Structure formats: C-alpha cells, structure tokens
Amino acid sequence: MSEDRIQIAVDGPVATMTVARPDKLNAFDIDMLKALAAACDTVETMREVRVLILTGEGKAFSAGGDIKAWGGMDAAAFGHDWVRFGHRVFERLATLRMPVIAALNGHALGGGLELAAAADIRIAESQIKIGLPETSLGMVPGWSGTQRLVTRFGAQIVRRMVLGGEMFSAEAAKAEGLVDAVVETGTVMQAARDYAARVAKRGPAALEISKLMIASANGEDNGAAVEALGSILVAKTGDLREGVAAFSEKREAQFKGEW
C-alpha cells in the first residue's frame, strides 16, 4: 500500500522517515507524494520530536520520479498534478519545524536529489552518486531542482548537473557543498543518528526559530518565515491573551501593551 512506502519510526526526540519502495529504487508516484505529505503532517504534530532523519530503503536513497507514473500524462496533468503537486510536497518537507537530516544510503538522482535538498543537513555514504539527469529525458527538473538547489548550492553547480549532465561522487559532492559529510558504506544511519543526537540536545524552540531565520536570510519563503516568527512572538504576549478573552466574553478588549 502507498502509505506503507513512507514509514515513520520514533525513538525519543528523533524520528526517522523512510522512503520504502526498494524494488523501484524508491522512485515516487502520485500516491507516494500524497503519503509523503501526510507523513510530514504527522511528524509535525509530534511535539516530542526535535529532529527528523530522512532516508531510503534498500540500495538507493531515491531515483526521483517514476517515469511510468508521469510518462503518459498530458501536458496539463503533468504540469499541475505532477510537477506543481510534487513541488508543494517537497516544500512541505523543507519547511518542517524541526531540522531534517538526509541520510543518503544510495544514489540521489533527479527528484531524489531534490528530496535530499529539502533537508537541512546531508550525510552521504561513499559509494553514492548525485545528479540531475532530467534533460537526458527531454524534461527539466520540476521539484525545485532549478530553484531550491540554486538557492542552497549555487547556480553553477546546478548548471553542470542540468546542462552538462555531470554526476558527482559523494566526495566530489562534498567538495561542491552538495553534501555535508561522507561516511563509509553501511554506516550512514549511525552517522545520522549521532548527528541527530547532537541536534536534539539543543533548545527545540531555538532550533525552530533559527531554522526560520536561516531560511529567510537565504531568500527561502521569506513571507511565511516572517509571518511565522511574528506569530510566535505575538502568541506569547499578554495582549493576545486579552484579545482572545475579550472575544470569548463578548466585551471590548483592554490592551495594555503587555509582551
């Protein structure tokens, strides 16, 4: 079942989200995108979770979009039901309140790299390959490959992958800033758990706000980041408590400028 292909396991303050379609190299179809969106909503509500590890089952992190899932779509369906929907789902992942660590246990290609780019930290096993091969199929990256990847990694490295079709080894990807650390084959989950344990020791409110501030400074979703930060601040004020109380009691609010 599609919902079984995005699995969540929780161990104290650390949740692990696994893309589990190993027979297809964890390639996504529409139902898996829906399952990923639902999984993001679920983990967001787990207040005990302070950090999320994202990984793939089997020998790949993710091969991206399943060609059989989109190959027969007409232009309208491809643009709206596939590209725009997938973009929204990956944006949901990128804007989770908690830090996300991508544990790249295998190749991250096309949409798989776009998936990894939605994380805050990327740890890769030494044998993996990274790339954006979409133009070899006559298509373009559609799940933020030319947007978030350019913002986070720089335009030139994305040009090399998209226009030149360059594939990068884990070490080369680290040198280019595409991944943050490289570990031996078979050890990425332990490395991710160790890093997650470091993150989980820090103040959860500070982590959430810092993530918003960094995203805003990086030009990512500025409007939502500013409004979220403002709302968090206002939610702690005496004025808001007075406003809600006045509404409930059907009286005029008496604001005192209380923070």
Residue with the bigger pLDDT between 73 and 96: it is 96
Average pLDDT over residues 219-237: 77
Nearest to 121 by CA among 185, 217, 53: 53
CATH of domain 6-201: 3.90.226.10
pLDDT in tens, 187-200: 999 999 999 999 99
> Terminal CA-to-CA distance of the chain, rounded, Å?
49
Task: Give the per-residue pLDDT at 1.
Answer: 47
Q: How far apart are CA 19 and CA 56, in angstroms?
A: 5
Global pTM reads 0.91
Domain ranges within the chain, ordered by starting residue: 6-201, 204-249
Q: Which residues contact 243 (CB under 8 A, 6 or more apart)?
A: 253, 255
Average pLDDT over residues 121-148: 93
Q: How far apart are CA 139 and CA 7, in angstroms?
A: 30
Q: How far is CA 74 from CA 29, 111, 130, in A?
A: 16, 20, 29
Give catalytic residues, as residue numbers. Answer: 114, 134
Average pLDDT over residues 168-181: 98
